[in-house]
Amino acid sequence: MNKDDINSIKALLSSPKAIVIIPHKNPDGDAIGSTLGLYHYLKKHNHKATIIAPNDYPVFLKWMPGEASILKYDHQKKESDVLLKTADVIFTLDFNSLGRIGGMEDAVATSEGIKIMIDHHQQPDDYAKYMYSDATMSSTCEMVYNFIEMLNDVNKIDSDIASCLYVGIMTDTGSFRYQSTTSATHHIIGNLIEKGARNSEIHNNLYDTNSYERLQLLGRALSNLKVVPEYRTAYITLSQEELNTFKFKKGDTEGIVNYALSLKGIIFAAIFIENHQENIIKISLRSKGDFSVNELSRAHFSGGGHTNAAGGKSDLNLSDTIDKFISILPQYKQDLKA
């Protein structure tokens, strides 16, 4: 995003506009944090802003300021379609391809609203008039902070905006431990705490609100863990039946894949989660170092993401998906073999 773009956006936002802000499908902490942070900021400038999420998100995000105002496209389609059609501006946050917003894709693609992308995923599609795309960034929340700074408005950041942006930086950096965490990330985090983000409380809201069933599900997942030592790979499966046994709720499987990656000597980890409703196996992939799970997911599992964290899906059944996964490992032997 160059100076000219920033000046154009400043001019565009200099009078109240009808604005829609969109996170990706199955929104996570960074998607909801960044859309809400931007939402509160735009409201301060008297814009008529609405967040429309493609679908629902985990209960551990439902304490966030302004969260109750988020529309869910799959349940509020009519109202959402009107807002999308009449929007002057559409911000798309934390995704880089309209294929990531599920059923909203057409309504967004055909809207005449000026599209502004803020995102940190690799290889972005070219659908937005203004693109702030930077794959070196820890999170979209860090980028929303930078965006507000580029608009010379850091002094407008209040405790609500600060709390929302804190959430996404914290979740997308694995609580400030992944490689993408820079000194700039920590400076921003420091500023957000100064502006009223209650860091300890936020951490507690996200990570210390497990249900008993969720911990039991985690136990099952860990007992399903398999290791392929010659490829420094570990993976976990969860069948629909297992999810039902432990009364699965959205968000319950978040982060489980990281246990596989935490095994000593493992640099590539995956979790395969059966989803009968969508008739797919949802896949989360994680890696350490240079091995790109983004590339692997794009090549084999209709997905994408970042070098060290990506997602995808499979239309095969669970056991055939695992067979496919095992069978492609040799293609990556140069990266994976010790």
Judge contact between 73 and 55, C-beta under 8 A: yes
Supply the minimum distance, in Å, between the C-beta of residue 282 and ligand 5GP. Answer: 8
| β-sheet with 71-72: strand ranges across | 71-72, 48-53, 18-22, 89-93, 114-119, 130-133
According to CB under 6 A, which one of 304, 308, 321, 322 is a site residue for ligand 5GP?
A: 304
According to CB under 6 A, which one of 306, 314, 321, 322 is a site residue for ligand 5GP?
A: 306
**3-class DSSP state for residue 36?**
helix
In the bound state, the residue with its beta carbon closest to ligand 5GP is 311
Number of other CB atoms surrounding residue 136 within 10 Å? 8
According to CB under 5 A, which one of 29, 30, 214, 248 is a site residue for Mn ion?
A: 30
Supply the minimum distance, in Å, between the C-beta of residue 63 and ligand 5GP. Answer: 20
Length, in residues, of the chain: 338
Under rule CB under 5 A, how many of the chain's residues touch Mn ion?
A: 4
Q: What is the dihedral of CA 171, 39, 89, 74, to 10 degrees?
A: 70
Given Mn ion, ligand 5GP, none, residue 309, with its beta carbon under 5 to 8 Å by kind, binds ligand 5GP
Under rule CB under 6 A, how many of the chain's residues touch ligand 5GP?
A: 12
Measured from the CB atom, is 82 or 109 closer to ligand 5GP?
109
Given Mn ion, ligand 5GP, none, residue 54, with its beta carbon under 5 to 8 Å by kind, binds none
Residues of this chain, 90-119, that bind Mn ion according to CB under 5 A: 94
Given ligand 5GP, Mn ion, none, residue 274, with its beta carbon under 5 to 8 Å by kind, binds none
Residues of this chain, 312-331, that bind ligand 5GP according to CB under 6 A: 312-313
Distances (CA, A) of 120 to 53, 95, 263, 336: 18, 8, 27, 26
Asked if residue 160 binds Mn ion (CB under 5 A), the reply is no
How far from chain centre, in Å, is Cα 18? 25
Measured from the CB atom, is 64 or 283 closer to ligand 5GP?
283
- Name the strand (E) or helix (H) holding 130: strand 130-133
According to CB under 5 A, which one of 172, 218, 273, 291 is a site residue for Mn ion?
A: 172
Strands 268-275 and 309-314: unpaired
**Which structure tokens are listed for 108?**
């967004």
DSSP state of 23: P
Measured from the CB atom, is 95 or 325 closer to Mn ion?
95
Applying CB under 6 A, which residues contact ligand 5GP? Answer: 24, 100, 284, 303-306, 309-313
